[in-house]
Structure 1
Amino acid sequence: MANSEKPALTAPTFHSVEGAYLALLQLASTNFEQHIEARGNAAREVIGVSFRLSDPRQRLPYLASRKTNPVFQFAEALWYLSGRRDLEMIGYYAPSMRSSSRDGVTLGGSAYGHALFNPVDGDTTSPFDHVLEVLRTEPDSKRGYLPVFSARESAVTDNPDVACLAGLHLLVRDGQLHMVCNMRANDLDCGLLSDVFSFTMIQEYAAVQLGLQLGHYTHTIGSAHVNDRNEERIREVLNEAHLRRAPQRFPFPAMSAESRPSTIRRLLEHEELLRTNAVTYSADQIAHLDLEAYWQQAVLLFEVYRQIRHDKTDTVSRQVLDALHPGLRWLLAHKWTACATAEAAR
């Protein structure tokens, strides 16, 4: 097929995750195929759903009623990129995840980064690095697949944490790195947004390592569902989208070309200091850290959260908020009163 031709069959394409999120909420809410009760969770389900993002960097939805938490989303993406599985870090940003741990210390199937970024079976190289080497040496390879879900997980009858992610497929075509994500199941209201955020971050990080342009992202789901208990919020989100005059637009910048594993390690050193309240950072101090401006945005988010969690302040630092990307600032103002108060005083 010539490059100028478009394929006859492809997933519905959206510029940003927000459009895909709204379309899937509408689909599962009004045109669902099944009503299921898996493990006591009543839900409406559509089987076999796909969508594509033409610009995976636009991985944040700007919907006031959804109250998206960009602090958690950056934390989870970094938790994956560093190959961790500990609750100590991720439980600070999402205490509810503790209920999925069998030992109260680590997570199992949902610790996707542990499967991707750590060597397995006595190897010295991680699956992620093996795939990058394949893509460097074999043009147009179809072998850049990173499996996550393991059949062993299903063999444990009382397993509270089975991986929803089946695997990630990286494909280099015409100087771009595309990715296809295969999910065995996705909660469209709660899990989808965080998953797309983290997986497109992994895609972009891989593109940087390979020196390639960022291509499109395709997300496929076996069981696409919305839980009945979230019906009211889903209705509010869809109503907001229907009534607003125009969507909020905050284009997000490209990941810095200098991003490497050492970058992630340095960033998480600062994250831990803030998480444990060992330091406080001003906006000026963050601007002078040993990190590129792109990753300084994550430190700014972690400092905001430190103020909310540890200082229990009625209003966060305006200087720190002012240094944030406007889209992140908008999301924080719609998530926490302390951020809204500071933003209103601008």
Structure 2
Amino acid sequence: MSNRYRNISFAAAGSFEEIMEKGDQVTVRGQLTREILNQVTVLDRPLERFLFLPGRLNDCFAQIAESIWVLAGRNDVDWLTHYLPRAPDFSDDRKTWRAGYGPRLRRWRESVDQVDEVRKLLVDDRTTRRAVMSLFDPGLDYVNSKDIPCNNWIGWLIRDGRLNMSIAIRSNDAMWGFSGANAFEWSVLHELMARWTGTEVGSATFFAASFHLYERHFNTAPSIVSRFHGISPYDFDIPRLPLSVSWSDLADRLAHWFELEQRIRTAPGEVIAELQLFDDRFLRGALEVLRLKWLEPQLTDTELAAEMANLDESDMVAATYQHLGRRRPALLRRMKHTKISSFFSAFEAER
């Protein structure tokens, strides 16, 4: 089956609905699921990456952190646990994700940076069909482990000046996998690869051999679908924060990013002038909103609203309002960002 959607918000709602209506009941490893086989989902605007679904309760901070962690080639659980507290539950040794995508992409068998190899292929031959990345390793992954890669292959094609991305997935939980992590993290790589190859971002196509929902979401999914009426911040002229770091600067920028992240996490009240000097707007914006994750427990509603008002209006800031507003509903009534306020007025009406 194949479905085409504008962005991840539309795709998630449509996928939940289709799985609940058409999916077969299958019990896998003792867990009941509803499953559709060989599902193809196309996102026409993958860079509209932030998920806005009433009742979905996604964590934008975790999405941002994990995506940058993967891009940096990391698989250490200690750092990721700051943003994904359950990360150790998916590790065999509670220290690393054995099959983490980061090392598979950036240091395959400790020697091949697949991101760089694909970049060079696409730059050298804009019609190439050889630009592929492998995430499943037959030499390592036919084992009993908590961590077998679900995303197995990524392919790239430039056509009509647009870079199209395809992802093959053996097993895809529509709730926490596809809409929670995969669409977001691969959109980051997609945007950067387009920049490095001088192309526009094309579509992102996800093929899932098993596309499913677990029983724990059988009631949640229809509720989310019924409350989504087809709007997202991108309908309100709210700008995205672009990724613009060059390939030659990537390693240094990421190293600096993680240094600053540690500082804002351990001392979020500290004024760090270097944040304003960070020249990639997405990476800088990520630090600004992650700082608020750690600072928020120390602030009153009025103080938090003032901190939010200091941020430039963007989709990332809208996602931060959504996340923090669940615990601080007064925050959604104190917005200084006019476009985001207009969006939430319509969004809250859906609830």
Structure 2 gaps, min length 5: 336-351
Q: Is the 1:13–1:53 Cα contact (8 Å) retained in structure 2? A: yes
Structure 1 gaps, min length 5: 1-9
Q: Is the 1:67–1:331 Cα contact (8 Å) retained in structure 2? A: no
Quick one: which amino acid aligns to residue 126 of structure 1?
D
Deviations 1:228-266 (Å, cap 9, x if unpaired)? Answer: 11122212201102xx4x513335526243444132222
Aligned equivalent of 1:83? 73
Q: Is the 2:33–2:212 Cα contact (8 Å) retained in structure 1? A: yes
Q: Is the 1:25–1:188 Cα contact (8 Å) retained in structure 2? A: yes
Note the C-alpha offset of 1:192.
0.8
**Map of 1:103-182 to 2, 5 A cutoff?**
103-109=93-99, 111-120=100-109, 123=111, 125-157=112-144, 159-182=145-168
How many residue pairs align between the two structures? 325
Aligned equivalent of 2:174? 188
Secondary structure of the corresponding residue to residue 183 of structure 1: strand
Aligned equivalent of 2:18? 27
**Map of 1:251-270 to 2, 5 A cutoff?**
251-253=238-240, 255-259=242-246, 260-261=249-250, 262-270=252-260
Secondary structure of the corresponding residue to residue 52 of structure 1: strand
Note the C-alpha offset of 1:345.
3.0
Equivalent of 2:284, from 292, 296, 306? 296
Aligned mates of 2:239, 2:20 — CA distance in 1: 29
**Structure 2 residue 193 is matched with structure 1 residue 209:** no
Equivalent of 2:28, from 24, 34, 38? 38
Equivalent of 1:345, from 334, 340, 343? 334
Aligned mates of 1:248, 1:138 — CA distance in 2: 37
Q: Is the 1:300–1:320 Cα contact (8 Å) retained in structure 2? A: no
- Shift of the 144–252 alpha-carbon distance from structure 1 to 2, 3 Å rule, reads farther
Deviations 1:279-310 (Å, cap 9, x if unpaired)? Answer: 5355x8476233333322101121011124xx
Aligned mates of 1:305, 1:69 — CA distance in 2: 11
Aligned mates of 1:326, 1:108 — CA distance in 2: 35
Aligned mates of 1:52, 1:209 — CA distance in 2: 23
Aligned mates of 1:320, 1:247 — CA distance in 2: 26
Q: Is the 2:241–2:314 Cα contact (8 Å) retained in structure 1? A: no
Structure having the higher helix fraction is 2
TM-score in terms of structure 2 length: 0.85
Q: Is the 2:244–2:280 Cα contact (8 Å) retained in structure 1? A: no
Aligned equivalent of 2:233? 249
Q: Is the 1:297–1:325 Cα contact (8 Å) retained in structure 2? A: no
Aligned equivalent of 1:229? 216
- Shift of the 42–19 alpha-carbon distance from structure 1 to 2, 3 Å rule, reads same
Note the C-alpha offset of 1:146.
0.2
**Structure 2 residue 322 is matched with structure 1 residue 334:** yes
Note the C-alpha offset of 1:69.
1.4
Quick one: which amino acid aligns to residue 37 of structure 2?
I
Aligned mates of 1:278, 1:330 — CA distance in 2: 24
Q: Is the 2:241–2:316 Cα contact (8 Å) retained in structure 1? A: no
TM-score in terms of structure 1 length: 0.86
Q: Percent identity?
A: 18
Aligned mates of 1:67, 1:329 — CA distance in 2: 16
Note the C-alpha offset of 1:191.
1.0
Secondary structure of the corresponding residue to residue 317 of structure 1: helix
Aligned mates of 1:233, 1:314 — CA distance in 2: 32
Aligned equivalent of 2:9? 18
Quick one: which amino acid aligns to residue 27 of structure 1?
E
Quick one: which amino acid aligns to residue 235 of structure 1?
P
Aligned equivalent of 1:69? 59
Aligned mates of 1:118, 1:67 — CA distance in 2: 34
Q: Which moved further from structure 2: 12-21 or 324-333?
A: 324-333
RMSD: 2.3
Note the C-alpha offset of 1:106.
0.6
